[in-house]
Amino acid sequence: MQISARGDYAVRAALSLATAYPTLLSTQAIAAEQDMPRKFLEAVLADLRRAGIVRAQRGAEGGYALARPPREVTIGQILRAVDGPLAGVRGLRPEETRYEGAAENLPRLWVAVRAAVRQVVDEVSLAEMVSGKLPGHVRRLIARPDAWEPR
C-alpha cells in the first residue's frame, strides 16, 4: 500500500485535532506543528470537512475541530476521505478485476490485500494513535521480526 502525501498530511492533521479535541485549531497552528505547507493543508482539511470528519468555524476565533470524538474516527476513514478507496488495481476495486488463464485467481489475492489493510486502518482510531495504545493485532504485526525491514 502506498500512502500519498495527501493521506499522510490528512492523518497527521487529524492527530493534531484529536490531541486538541474539542478545541478548535487554526490551519496555521496545525501547519506549524506538523511542518506542512498551509495551502496544501487547507485543501486536505476541506476534503475532511466534506467527509464529515472535521468541522470548520469561521472568524477570528475560528479554525478546525474533529466533528466526532477521536475514538470514533479511524485512520481508514481519513485515508478514504482524501484518497478514495484503500486498494485499487488499475483504477478498479479488487473485486471488479477479471483475468484469464494463469492469472484467473489473482482477484482473490487483491481482495485479501485490501482486507489486510482494512484490518489495520479501519480498526485503529485517532484516540488509539494519540495514546499509543494500539489494538493487540496491530501490536503483534509491529512486533514481527521482519516488520521494520525493507524489502
CA 148/CA 52 separation, integer angstroms: 34
pTM: 0.92
CATH number belonging to domain 5-143: 1.10.10.10
Pair 150, 105: CB distance under 8 Å: no
CA 109/CA 96 separation, integer angstroms: 13
Pair 123, 131: CB distance under 8 Å: no
Q: What is the pLDDT of residues 113-124, one digit of tens each?
A: 999 999 999 999
In sequence order, the 6+-apart residues with CB closer than 8 A to the CB of 121 are 74, 75, 76, 79, 86
Q: What is the pLDDT of residues 68-107, one digit of tens each?
A: 999 999 999 999 999 999 888 888 888 999 999 999 999 9
